[in-house]
Amino acid sequence: MSSNTSDKPMIRIRKGNLQDLPEMLLLFQNTITAICQRDYNTAQLEAWKSGAENKERWLNVMKEQYILIAESENKIVGFCTLAQGNYIDLLFVHKDYQHQGIASQLYKLIEKEALDQNQKVLTADVSKTAKSFFETMDFRLIQEQIVNVKGIDLINYKMEKRL
């Protein structure tokens, strides 16, 4: 699972494992800080990033979810996780690798996995920042939601796609 264009480093996609967790957590936090700042204020970004501190949740992600990792030059540049075969829990791309098709590559492989598991619908709770990407992937908006994280309200969107 690789792709390459002439001037960009090669992106390799592979299944994730527990050894990826420290780098995934760093990418999660750094991407929120750098990419989501136009859609969320500082308090919201800090509350969202604090999710990286929930070690039990992340260990459950690593143990129970289907995880794909995008790598370039032995560095994680993106990841996507699928929970219960039909819920996209996490989809993050490194701030320096945005708009290079990495999220699309990860998503298409996650959708293939859902189809392989005979799923009929994919769902996701997506940030304001990610909403347009999911719309491009033919997800439709179900509802706007307010999620409270550590006393801070964040808006996200319940979205779904029929497969």
Give tens-digit pLDDT for 84-125.
999 999 999 999 999 999 999 999 999 999 999 999 999 999
Domain-located, residue 156: no
pLDDT at position 4 over 90: no
**What is the DSSP code string of 55-79?**
HHHHHHHHHHSEEEEEEETTEEEEE
CATH number of the domain encompassing residue 22: 3.40.630.30
Domain-located, residue 57: yes
Domain-located, residue 66: yes
Report how far apart, in Å, the C-alpha atoms of 26 and of each of 6, 19, 108 are: 28, 13, 24
Domain-located, residue 74: yes
Domain-located, residue 151: no
Instruction: Count how many domains the chain has.
Output: 1
Domain-located, residue 149: no
Q: Which two tokens stand for residue 106?
A: 């990860």
Domain-located, residue 153: no
**What 3-state DSSP class applies to 5?**
coil
